[in-house]
Amino acid sequence: MRLWSQFQSWIRAMAHRTRLESDMDAELRFHMETYAKDLQRQGVANEEAMRRAKLEFGGMESAKEECREARGVNLLDSLVRDVRYGLRSLRKDSSFTLVAVLTLGLGIGASTAIFSVVENVLVEPFPYPDANRMLTLEIHDAAEQQSSGRAEYSGPEFLDYIDKNHVFGRVIANASLEVLHDAGEGTERFHGVLTTPGTFEFFGMPALLGRIMEPEDYEPSAPPVFVLRYKTWVTNFAGDPRALNKTFVLNGVPRTLIGVMPPRFGWGDGDVFIPEKPSRADAARTGEFPPVWYLVGHLKPGVTERQAQADLTVVANQLAKVYPKSYPEHFRVELRSITDMVVGRFRATLYLTSAAVALLLLIACANVANLMLARATTHEKEFAVRAALGAGRGTLVRQMLVESLLLAVAGAALGIALASVGLTSMVSLMPQETIPAETVIRLNAPVLLFALLTTLLTPILFGLVPALRAARNNLEKQLRTSGRSTWGGSQHGRFHDAMIVAEVALSFTLLVGAGLLMRSFVALRGVDLGMRPDHVLLTRLPLPPEQYQNAAQVQSFYRPLLARVKALPGVTDVAESSALPPYGGFSSEIEIPGQTHSEKWNARFQLCSEDYFALLRIKLLKGRVFNATEVNDARKLAVVNETFVRKYFPGVDPVGQHVQLSDLQHYPDRVADPSFEIVGVVGDVLNQGMQQPVDPEVWIPATVTGSGLRGILVRTSNDPMGLMNEVRREVWATNRSVALTFTGSLESLINMRSYAGPRFGFVVMSVFAGAGLVLVTIGVYSVIAYATARRRHEIGVRMALGAQVRDILQLVLGHGTRLALIGVAIGVPVALTLASLMQGQLFGISASDPSTLIAVTALLLLVGLLACYVPARRATRVDPLVALRYE
């Protein structure tokens, strides 16, 4: 109670400051004047009375001051005064302030931004509560170590697992389905996901609009419904809320849209979700393939993974007898959480970035510690004087605390700003497919707090040092110290040096990491694709199988389409193609008449039209490519690549020779005699992705067979994506049941698949390394500058005794270089260790690449020297006489 009434009294006093002052003044005056009057009544003269009254009262001002303190009014005053003083002192020492704030900001900003990404992606990729107890079931063949196991189950099997297990609360499954949507003018293709009863409840996701499926929706007799994914609703349905409860024809069935999911829900990467209840009758269904279910179970509370593993192994063994064809003779059951499935792929990368973050934070803290200590020693004398003049320990400590807090606040503000900016730019650089659809990456509060706490503790801790030291009793000694010391022997000198060495080592590690990633990325970019992917639009066109079963029918679609698209303004070339470079399409066993071989011979092959090679600017090395007439006539001609010639026709001219693509005999639209005459050789085009060597490849006319999914490539003079709507219109004009899939520009596809990942890694690491380098430069500079400033006296002595500018420079630079070299020496083993962890990410360069190490060493030494140079030169410019007198 007392505290409360005290607080109220304080509030009253603060609110009415002026009145308090005037009251106090009036009261004290009254006292003195009344006393003076009493004295007069006792016979003392007028002025004498007043004088004595004043004297005996004591100082009025000090009494007033004590009164103010009694009311607690002083506290705020002192704080405000401390803040003003702190600001002034920081502004005076502006270089220190700037550097300290920058260091803090950089450390906090970089680490928070990266940590947020790591935390959002690694630790919480799914927004579902308890996602790490949602497990998928995999049957692994015990004989094959590397196999990825079977995670798909038939309907009846799925039901059996539900019935027989004892460890899962709820079990759901999903199956993929290609969904064709009749959109009026044409057909759109969606990735459909069949969901089993309870799926949406399993994930705890309610609908954003409308409703989720209810148990009745899963009954076979129920009216057909579906639920949309948010992204699909926005892109394909214009985000129109009126689409709700309307009917859309999906796969020939009119379905009502009953709900739209919130943005974070994208289970199974589905665009549309369709209810399906697996039944034991599935096996008996004819005419279509029964869906294959991918199972996820939620562990009952209290059940451990180990128990689940044991239980499910028992169940699996029982089921192996019921479905013997689906189970290998010896198998084991593996359970993986859904989190693990997504994240497992790039856990290494993320841990690596966490390590980099930690390194950067350490460097930042070391720098700030150095700066604060250096400043502390400057303050020591000032505080000793103040203490001698009567400042209490509390006052001094409070003063330093306020100053450190001011720094901390400024650093925190800058750090938060940098973190937001950094996060937005990183998210825009992240490759789209490495994160599951559901993740939302945003600044993470606990992470930010962690970074703030760790980095801001440093200025506060190290800032208190001078205040605490001044409050000790050694005032006399402190007042008398002349500040003289010899090189390297100062009280904090060794600490400073150690910090610098540590910083250099850490920075070395970061730089090596960045350097390796950069060279890897450059090597990747330097790989010759063998073609020109710019300005090319592509789209895959899966044709409805009932309409297109043989080559003639397929060509009745493509011929007119190609002609139409070619006629569009801005189009320079069009081609039909079965493959999507840099991946090479189908593969087939081959035979070459006249050559015998013991092992199997394989080659990749593609179906294409006559303009394919010209469109992609593939180099013709020998012979010719097939022309329009030959394609029209479905002549059995072939074009091969260099690797093919090297492997199968070494030293022989392949033109005129024949190659047999045996697999074509087994295709639905089979080719009876798949022997093709080679008419030309082209340069290698990457067909196994960016990082694998090229396979031998054969191109044959697309008219030879009707089998095989193909699409069209369109080369445009302007932005290829600008023509997308026209191309779609032409496709639907040719046949409105054909949907366009995988539409995009070839360049961005390659970018996304092959370059984006490495580029991201390289950019992130470079940000760290860059920040680290800046911090180290600042660190070295400040330590050396401080050291030389403290040793002005000694430098003066040396110069008076005949040392030249050169000698002084040598002294200072020598100090700095020594520290840098030690740092590098420590850094090398650390860097090599971390780099070896990174090997999986590197292309075309080894983790222990010596030239990178040398380059980084040189860079650090250069930077260190530069940082030392300025203070060194400044030291030499000091007039020895001044220096000698300087204390």
Q: Does 58 bind another protein (CB under 8 A)?
A: yes
| Nearest CB to another protein, comparing residues 45 and 70 | 70
| Nearest CB to another protein, comparing residues 6 and 547 | 6
Smallest distance, Å, CB 48 to another protein?
A: 17
Strands 571-577 and 711-716: antiparallel
| SS3 state at 714 | strand
- Of 17, 22, 23, 240, the residue at the interface with another protein (CB under 8 A) is 23
Strands of 654-725, DSSP E: 658-661, 675-682, 697-701, 711-716
Cα 296 from Cα 155, distance rounded (Å): 14
Look up residue 636 and give its amino acid: K
Which value, to the nearest 10 degrees, does the dihedral of the CA atoms of residues 414, 417, 418, 422 take? 170
Smallest distance, Å, CB 42 to another protein?
A: 13
Cα 287 from Cα 140, distance rounded (Å): 30
Angle between helix 493-526 and 756-790 (nearest 10): 160
| Nearest CB to another protein, comparing residues 53 and 704 | 53
| Nearest CB to another protein, comparing residues 33 and 887 | 33
Q: Provide CB contacts within 8 A for 578, sequence distance 6+.
A: 585, 586, 606, 607, 608, 702, 708, 709, 710, 711
CB 468 within 8 A of CB 143: no
- 618: nearest Cα among 715, 691, 513, 711: 715
Smallest distance, Å, CB 25 to another protein?
A: 11
| Nearest CB to another protein, comparing residues 13 and 243 | 13
Binding piece for another protein, criterion CB under 8 A, among 57-65, 84-92, 618-626, 741-749: 57-65
- HSE-CB at 854 with a 13 A cutoff on CA atoms is 3
Q: Does 18 bind another protein (CB under 8 A)?
A: no
Alpha carbon separation from 107 to 275, 405, 453 (Å, rounded): 50, 17, 12
Smallest distance, Å, CB 36 to another protein?
A: 11
- Of 11, 45, 46, 56, the residue at the interface with another protein (CB under 8 A) is 56
| Nearest CB to another protein, comparing residues 31 and 759 | 31
Handedness of CA 456, 460, 461, 462 (dihedral sign): positive
CB 752 within 8 A of CB 432: yes
Q: Does 30 bind another protein (CB under 8 A)?
A: yes
Cα 765 from Cα 516, distance rounded (Å): 10
Binding piece for another protein, criterion CB under 8 A, among 23-31, 369-377, 453-461, 774-782: 23-31
Phi, psi of 306 (to 5 degrees): -65, -45
Binding piece for another protein, criterion CB under 8 A, among 19-27, 681-689, 822-830, 845-853: 19-27
Q: Does 22 bind another protein (CB under 8 A)?
A: no
| Nearest CB to another protein, comparing residues 31 and 753 | 31
Residue 582: asked if its preceding bond is cis (omega within 30°), the reply is yes
- 277: nearest Cα among 211, 216, 319: 216
Binding piece for another protein, criterion CB under 8 A, among 53-61, 176-184, 778-786, 875-883: 53-61
| SS3 state at 71 | helix
Q: Does 35 bind another protein (CB under 8 A)?
A: yes
| Nearest CB to another protein, comparing residues 68 and 181 | 68
Q: Does 46 bind another protein (CB under 8 A)?
A: no
- 716: nearest Cα among 450, 538, 591: 538
- Of 25, 27, 130, 534, the residue at the interface with another protein (CB under 8 A) is 27
| Nearest CB to another protein, comparing residues 59 and 488 | 59
* Window 60 to 99, contacts with another protein (CB under 8 A): 62-63, 66-67, 69-72
Quote the tokens at residue 254. 């009119």
- Of 40, 57, 744, 832, the residue at the interface with another protein (CB under 8 A) is 57
Q: Provide CB contacts within 8 A for 646, sequence distance 6+.
A: none
**Full DSSP string of 419-485:** HHHHHHHHHHHS-GGGS-TT------HHHHHHHHHHHHHHHHHHHHHHHHHHTSSTHHHHHH-----
Quote the tokens at residue 368. 């700030």
Smallest distance, Å, CB 30 to another protein?
A: 5
* Window 666 to 695, contacts with another protein (CB under 8 A): none
* Window 289 to 308, contacts with another protein (CB under 8 A): none
Q: Does 486 bind another protein (CB under 8 A)?
A: no
| Nearest CB to another protein, comparing residues 1 and 801 | 1
- Of 17, 59, 215, 589, the residue at the interface with another protein (CB under 8 A) is 59
| Nearest CB to another protein, comparing residues 69 and 130 | 69
Smallest distance, Å, CB 29 to another protein?
A: 10
Q: Does 31 bind another protein (CB under 8 A)?
A: yes
Look up residue 133 and give its amino acid: R
Q: Which residues bind another protein (CB under 8 A)?
A: 2, 5-6, 9-10, 13, 23-24, 26-28, 30-31, 34-35, 37, 56-59, 62-63, 66-67, 69-72
